[in-house]
Amino acid sequence: MSDAEHRDNFIVDIIERDLARGRHDRVVTRFPPEPNGYPHIGHAKSICLNFSLAQRFGGRCHLRFDDTNPEKESMEYVEAMKRDIAWLGFDWGEHLYFASDYYEWLYDCAVALIEKGLAYVDSLDEATMREYRGTVTEPGRPSPHRDRSVEENLDLFRRMREGEFAEGAHVLRAKIDMSAANMKMRDPALYRIKKAHHYRRGDDWVIYPLYDFTHCLSDAKEQITHSICTLEFENNRDIYDWVLENLDLAPYESGTRPHQFEFARLNLSHTMMSKRKLLALVEQGVVTGWDDPRMPTISGMRRKGFTPASIRAFADMIGVAKNNSLVDLGKLEFCIREDLNDVAPRVMCVLNPIKVVIENYPEEQTETFDAPLFPADVGKPGSRDVTFSRELYIERDDFMKDPPKKYYRLSPGAEVRLRYAYIVKCEQVIENDAGEIVELRCSYDPDTKGGKSTRKVRGTIHWVSAHDAVDAEVRMYDRLFLAEQPSEQDEVNPASLTVLEGKLEAAAPSLEATHLQFERQGYFVHDPDGTADRPVFNLTVTLKDSWAKQTKASAPEPAKARPKPKPQEATARVVDPEDQAAADALRARHAGLDGDDALRLVREPRLAALFEAAAGAAPTHTAELAKWTVNEVAAATKEQSELAFDGPALAELVSLVADETISTRAAKSVLAELVEKGGSATAIVEAQGLDRMGDDALAKTIDEVLAQHPVEVERYRAGEKKLLGFLLGQVMRAAGGRADAKSTRQLLTKALG
RNA sequence: UCCGGCGUCGUUCAAUGGCAGGACGGAGGACUUUGAAUCCUCUAAUCGUGGUUCGAAUCCACGCGCCGGAACCA
Condensed to tens digits (0 to 9), the pLDDT of residues A490-525 reads: 999 999 999 999 999 999 999 989 999 999 999 999
Decide: CB of A721 under 7 A of nucleic strand B.
no
Asked if residue A399 lies in contact with residue A440, where contact means CB atoms within 8 angstroms, the answer is yes
**A34 is known as an active-site residue:** yes
pLDDT average, residue stretch A327-339: 98
pLDDT average, residue stretch A659-677: 92
Q: Tell me how far apart the alpha carbons of residues A507 and A494 are, in angstroms, rounded to a whole number.
A: 34
φ, ψ of residue A620 in degrees (nearest 5)? -85, -10
Q: State what percent of residues in chain A have pLDDT above 90.
A: 86
Decide: CB of A323 under 7 A of nucleic strand B.
yes
CA–C1' gap, A193 and B73, in angstroms: 14
Q: Which of A23, A72, A275, A419 is catalytic?
A: A275
A555 pLDDT tier (thresholds 50, 70, 90): very low
Decide: CB of A261 under 7 A of nucleic strand B.
no
Residue A557 has pLDDT above 70, yes or no: no
CA–C1' gap, A633 and B53, in angstroms: 14
Q: What's the pLDDT tens digit per position in A64-90?
A: 999 999 999 999 999 999 999 999 999
Nearest Cα neighbor of A590 from A565, A571, A616 is A616
Residue A263 has pLDDT above 50, yes or no: yes
- Residue A696 is given by DSSP the state H
The number of beta carbons lying within 10 Å of the beta carbon of residue A245 is 12
C-alpha atoms less than 13 angstroms from C-alpha of A406 in its C-beta half-sphere: 6
Q: Tell me how far apart the alpha carbons of residues A356 and A366 are, in angstroms, rounded to a whole number.
A: 15
Query: In A228-321, which residue ranges form alpha helices assigned H by DSSP?
Result: 237-246, 275-283, 298-304, 308-318
Residue A751 has pLDDT above 50, yes or no: yes
Terminal Cα-to-Cα distance of chain A (whole angstroms): 46
Decide: CB of A408 under 7 A of nucleic strand B.
yes
CA–C1' gap, A240 and B24, in angstroms: 38
H-helix or E-strand spanning residue A18: helix A10-21
Q: Tell me how far apart the alpha carbons of residues A176 and A120 are, in angstroms, rounded to a whole number.
A: 10
Sort strands A189-193 and A171-174 into parallel, antiparallel or unpaired. Answer: antiparallel
Domain boundaries, chain A: 111-212, 267-341+475-495+515-544, 349-469+505-513, 568-688, 695-752
Decide: CB of A675 under 7 A of nucleic strand B.
no
Strand B: positions under 7 A of a protein C-beta atom: 1-8, 10-20, 22-27, 33-38, 46-55, 59-64, 66-74
Q: Facing residues of A230 across strands?
A: A263
Query: Which nucleotide has the shortest C1'-to-CA distance from A335?
Result: B24
| Ranges A286-300, A572-586, A638-652, A717-731: which has the least confidence | A572-586
Q: Tell me how far apart the alpha carbons of residues A522 and A541 are, in angstroms, rounded to a whole number.
A: 6
Average pLDDT, chain A: 93
Sort strands A119-122 and A96-98 into parallel, antiparallel or unpaired. Answer: unpaired
**A660 is known as an active-site residue:** no
Chain centroid to CA A320? 4
Which CATH architecture describes the domain A695-752? Orthogonal Bundle (1.10)
Q: What's the pLDDT tens digit per position in A28-47?
A: 999 999 999 999 999 999 99
Q: Which of A265, A419, A425, A606 is catalytic?
A: A265
Q: Tell me how far apart the alpha carbons of residues A140 and A157 are, in angstroms, rounded to a whole number.
A: 24
A642 pLDDT tier (thresholds 50, 70, 90): confident
Q: What's the pLDDT tens digit per position in A518-528?
A: 999 999 999 99
Decide: CB of A450 under 7 A of nucleic strand B.
yes
A566 pLDDT tier (thresholds 50, 70, 90): low
Tally: H helices and E strands in chain A: 25, 25
Output the pTM of the full model. 0.94
A719 pLDDT tier (thresholds 50, 70, 90): confident
pLDDT average, residue stretch A556-572: 50
Sort strands A391-395 and A463-465 into parallel, antiparallel or unpaired. Answer: antiparallel
pLDDT average, residue stretch A195-207: 98
Q: pLDDT value at position A4?
A: 35
Q: Tell me how far apart the alpha carbons of residues A652 and A610 are, in angstroms, rounded to a whole number.
A: 13
Sort strands A463-465 and A460-461 into parallel, antiparallel or unpaired. Answer: unpaired
Q: Tell me how far apart the alpha carbons of residues A522 and A506 are, in angstroms, rounded to a whole number.
A: 18
Q: pLDDT value at position A559?
A: 39
CATH of domain A267-341+475-495+515-544: 1.10.1160.10
Residue A1 has pLDDT above 60, yes or no: no
Decide: CB of A139 under 7 A of nucleic strand B.
no
pLDDT average, residue stretch A97-125: 98
Q: What's the pLDDT tens digit per position in A352-390?
A: 999 999 999 999 999 999 999 999 999 999 999 999 999
Decide: CB of A460 under 7 A of nucleic strand B.
yes
Q: pLDDT value at position A133?
A: 97
Chain centroid to CA A27? 20
CA–C1' gap, A332 and B38, in angstroms: 21
What's the one-letter identity of residue A459? Answer: G
Query: Which nucleotide has the shortest C1'-to-CA distance from A624?
Result: B52
Asked if residue A92 lies in contact with residue A126, where contact means CB atoms within 8 angstroms, the answer is no
Nearest Cα neighbor of A598 from A573, A576, A579 is A579
Q: pLDDT value at position A252?
A: 64
Sequence-distant (6+) residues with CB within 8 A of A282 are: A289, A290, A292
CATH superfamily, domain A349-469+505-513, is Ribosomal Protein L25; Chain P (2.40.240.10)
CATH superfamily, domain A111-212, is Glutamyl-tRNA Synthetase; Domain 3 (3.90.800.10)
Q: Nearest residue (Cα to C1') for B24?
A: A331
In the 534-593 stretch of chain A, whose C-beta falls under 7 Å of nucleic acid strand B? 543-547, 549-550, 553, 560, 562, 565, 567-568, 570-571, 573-574
pLDDT higher for A236 or A575?
A236
Q: Nearest residue (Cα to C1') for B60?
A: A631
Q: pLDDT value at position A558?
A: 39
Residue A437 has pLDDT above 70, yes or no: yes
A272 pLDDT tier (thresholds 50, 70, 90): very high
Rg (chain A; Cα; Å): 36
A207 pLDDT tier (thresholds 50, 70, 90): very high
Residue A736 has pLDDT above 70, yes or no: yes
